[in-house]
Amino acid sequence: MSRVSLTQYLVEQQREHGHIPGELRLLIEVVARTCKRIAISVNKGALGDVLGSAGTANVQGEVQKKLDVIANELLLEANEWGGNLAAMASEEMDTIHLVPNRYPQGEYLLLYDPLDGSSNIDVNVSIGTIFSVLKKPGTQQGVSEADFLQPGQSQVAAGYCVYGPQTMLVLTVGDGVAMFTLDREMGSWSLTAENVRIPEDTKEFAINMSNLRHWAPPVRRYIDECLAGTTGPRKKDFNMRWVASMVADVHRILTRGGIFMYPWDQREPDKPGKLRLMYEANPMAFLVEQAGGAATNGVQRILELQPGKLHERVSVILGSKNEVERVTGYHTPRP
Ligand code: AHM
Ligand code: MG
Q: HEC states along 208-269?
A: CHHHHHHECHHHHHHHHHHHCHHHCCCCCCCEECCCCCHHHHHHHHHHHCCEEEECCECCCC
Domain end among 141, 159, 193: 193
User: How far away, in angstroms, is 91 Cα from ligand 1 center?
Assistant: 12
22 located within any domain: yes
Alpha-carbon dihedral sign for residues 308, 312, 313, 319 = positive
Question: Across all residues in the chain, what is the average pLDDT?
Answer: 95
Instruction: Please tell me the predicted confidence (pLDDT) of residue 141.
Output: 81
- Regarding whether 86 and 38 lie in a shared domain, the answer is yes
Q: How confident is the model at residue 204 (pLDDT cuts 50, 70, 90)?
A: very high
- Regarding whether 12 and 152 lie in a shared domain, the answer is yes
Q: What is the pLDDT of residues 98-125, one digit of tens each?
A: 999 999 999 999 999 999 999 999 999 9
In the chain, the N- to C-terminal Cα span, in Å, equals 57
Instruction: Please tell me the predicted confidence (pLDDT) of residue 289.
Output: 98
Q: How confident is the model at residue 7 (pLDDT cuts 50, 70, 90)?
A: very high
| Residue nearest atom 2 of ligand 1, based on CA coordinates | 116
- Regarding whether 288 and 173 lie in a shared domain, the answer is no
335 located within any domain: no
37 located within any domain: yes
Q: What is the pLDDT of residues 308-329, one digit of tens each?
A: 999 999 999 999 999 999 999 9
Tell me the C-alpha to C-alpha distance, in Å, between residue 86 and each of 82, 93, 111, 157, 276. 10, 16, 11, 16, 22
Count of domains observed in the chain: 2
199 located within any domain: no
- Regarding whether 248 and 103 lie in a shared domain, the answer is no
Q: What is the mean pLDDT of residues 24-34?
A: 97
Q: What percent of the chain has pLDDT over 90?
A: 88
Residues with CB under 5 A from ligand 2 (ion): 113, 116
Instruction: Please tell me the predicted confidence (pLDDT) of residue 139.
Output: 79
User: How far away, in angstroms, is 113 Cα from ligand 2 center?
Assistant: 5
What are the φ and ψ backbone dihedral angles of 74, each rounded to 5 degrees?
-60, -40
54 located within any domain: yes
CATH number, domain containing residue 175: 3.30.540.10
User: How far away, in angstroms, is 305 Cα from ligand 2 center?
Assistant: 19
> Smallest Cα–Cα separation from 45: which of 23, 75, 15, 65?
65
Q: What is the pLDDT of residues 257-296, one digit of tens each?
A: 999 999 999 999 999 999 999 999 999 999 999 999 999 9
* 139 class by beta-carbon count within 10 Å (0-12 exposed, 13-18 middle, 19+ buried): exposed
Q: Please state the atom number of ligand 1 nearest to the C-alpha of residue 249.
A: 11
Instruction: Please tell me the predicted confidence (pLDDT) of residue 316.
Output: 98
Instruction: Please tell me the predicted confidence (pLDDT) of residue 335.
Output: 45
> Smallest Cα–Cα separation from 93: which of 24, 145, 151, 39?
145
Domain end among 143, 172, 193: 193
Instruction: Please tell me the predicted confidence (pLDDT) of residue 138.
Output: 85
165 located within any domain: yes
- Regarding whether 302 and 268 lie in a shared domain, the answer is yes
- Regarding whether 186 and 52 lie in a shared domain, the answer is yes
- Regarding whether 70 and 166 lie in a shared domain, the answer is yes
User: How far away, in angstroms, is 115 Cα from ligand 2 center?
Assistant: 7
CATH number, domain containing residue 310: 3.40.190.80
Cβ–Cβ < 8 Å for 201, 256: no
Q: What is the pLDDT of residues 48-102, one digit of tens each?
A: 888 999 888 888 888 889 999 999 999 999 999 989 999 999 999 999 999 999 9
Q: Which residues contact 46 (CB under 8 A, 6 or more apart)?
A: none
Range of the domain at 230: 204-330
pLDDT at 129 over 80: yes
User: How far away, in angstroms, is 153 Cα from ligand 2 center?
Assistant: 20
Residues at CB less than 6 angstroms from ligand 1: 62, 91, 113, 116-119, 208, 244-246, 262, 274
- Regarding whether 157 and 28 lie in a shared domain, the answer is yes
Instruction: Please tell me the predicted confidence (pLDDT) of residue 195.
Output: 97
- Regarding whether 134 and 272 lie in a shared domain, the answer is no
Residue whose CB lies within 8 A of the most ligand 1 atoms, among 129, 249, 274, for a mutation test: 274
Instruction: Please tell me the predicted confidence (pLDDT) of residue 116.
Output: 97
- Regarding whether 166 and 67 lie in a shared domain, the answer is yes
Reduced to 3 states (helix: H, G, I; strand: E, B; else coil), residue 331 is coil
| Residue nearest atom 6 of ligand 1, based on CA coordinates | 117
> Smallest Cα–Cα separation from 220: which of 300, 327, 317?
327
Cβ–Cβ < 8 Å for 156, 20: yes
User: How far away, in angstroms, is 114 Cα from ligand 2 center?
Assistant: 8
Residue 26 identity (one-letter amino acid): L
- Regarding whether 312 and 267 lie in a shared domain, the answer is yes
Q: Counting ligands in written order, which one lies closest to the CA of residue 316?
A: 1
Domain end among 159, 193, 227: 193
Instruction: Please tell me the predicted confidence (pLDDT) of residue 333.
Output: 56
More confidently predicted of 256 and 1: 256
Q: Please state the atom number of ligand 1 nearest to the C-alpha of residue 117.
A: 4
pLDDT at 142 over 70: yes
Q: Counting ligands in written order, which one lies closest to the CA of residue 68?
A: 1
Q: What is the pLDDT of residues 208-246, one digit of tens each?
A: 999 999 999 999 999 999 999 999 999 999 999 999 999
- Regarding whether 130 and 165 lie in a shared domain, the answer is yes
